[in-house]
Amino acid sequence: MNAGMMNATIAKLALQALLGRRRFYLLLAFPVLLIGLVVLITALTDGDAAYGVLPNLGFPLVLPLVAILAASSVLGPEVDDGSIVYLLSKPVNRYGVAISKWVVALAATLVAGALPILVAALITGDSTRAVALFVAAAVAGTAYSALFLAISAVTRHAVIASLMFVLIWEGLLGNLFSGIAWLSIGQWGLRIGHAISDELPDPASLPYAVVASLVVTVVGVWFAGDRLRSFSLRGEA
């Protein structure tokens, strides 16, 4: 990715779209919920019970939800109400638009999704495991935000489509069929985290997980830019 493609103004506008008014509180709710729950359970039980929250709730649910919220709100509302044409009528490279928006979504995902997972994991003890989970969350969050940005550029139903990918494909079907780990962003992240701490599961091969995460990220952002390049306005019925 070329840093010269970043457009500071577009990034600033995307940040405002993300954090404006009440939306900020919805985004804030996720880390507060996660850390609050872990603190509560750590205080009330002995042993390693609180850690169970992270692989069961924090990593597979909170992290992708934050990524969906971030990616869809930097692009979604503009596509939704059609005001994206004013942005696209400016002489700015469309890939630059996509990259600028993706960087903002990525930053939000890391701050409100991956960082709370690190904090919560540190509260449960075992700092190696915490760092491993953070790396897993950062890798998965990066790929998630690029994929969801690409989905946002394609359809008005981006949030539901992204949710179906996370909840039904990765969650429901991923639990039934272990082979889905090869096509699951969350599992790739966990595999990379497994290289740091053996406490994380080992669902796929490491080189594959690294390459697949990288490909999804690059192709996702490129595809979002490509969709913006050939964007056409359609009415809603």
Partner 1 sequence: MPDLSAPGPGRSGVIHDLGYRHFDGVREGSGAIARTLFTTGLRHAYGLGRSGKSKVMPFLLLAMSLLPATIVVGVVVLTGLADLPVSYADYTNQTQLLVSLFAAAQAPVLFSRDLRHRSIVLYLARPLSSHVFALVRWLSLTVAILLFTAIPTTVLYAGAMLAGLDKSDQTTDLLKALVLQVLLAMLVAGVSGLISSISLRRGFAVVGSVMALIVLTGIVTVVQNIAWYEADSETVPVAVGLLSPWSLVNGLANSWDAGVDTVVPVDGAWVPAYAIIAVLLVAGCLLGLVARFQKVGSR
Does residue 120 belong to the site contacting partner 1 (CB under 8 A)? no
- Window contacting partner 1 (CB under 8 A); options: 53-61, 93-101, 134-142, 186-194: 53-61
Does residue 52 belong to the site contacting partner 1 (CB under 8 A)? yes
| Alpha helices, H only, 51-91 | 53, 63-81, 84-88
Positions in 157-176 near partner 1 (CB under 8 A):
157-160, 163-164, 167-168, 171-172
Positions in 61-80 near partner 1 (CB under 8 A):
61-62, 65, 68-69, 72-73, 76-77, 80
What is the C-alpha to C-alpha distance for residues 129 and 118, in angstroms, rounded to an integer?
Answer: 9
Nearest CA to 219 among 70, 129, 95? 95
Please identify which residue in 5, 6, 39, 41 interacts with partner 1, judged by CB under 8 A: 41
Coil/strand/helix, residue 208: helix
Does residue 111 belong to the site contacting partner 1 (CB under 8 A)? no
How many Å from the N-terminal Cα to the C-terminal Cα in the chain?
37
For residue 183 the two structure tokens come to: 């096509």
Residue 174 and residue 187 in contact, taking contact as beta carbons nearer than 8 Å: yes
Does residue 33 belong to the site contacting partner 1 (CB under 8 A)? yes
Positions in 11-30 near partner 1 (CB under 8 A):
22-23, 26, 29
Residue 1 and residue 92 in contact, taking contact as beta carbons nearer than 8 Å: no
Please identify which residue in 10, 11, 15, 53 interacts with partner 1, judged by CB under 8 A: 53
Q: Torsion angle, CA of 55/60/63/64, rounded to 10 degrees?
A: 170
The residues of the shown chain that bind partner 1, judged by CB under 8 A, are 22-23, 26, 29, 33, 37, 41, 44-47, 49-50, 52-53, 56-57, 61-62, 65, 68-69, 72-73, 76-77, 80, 156-160, 163-164, 167-168, 171-172, 236-237
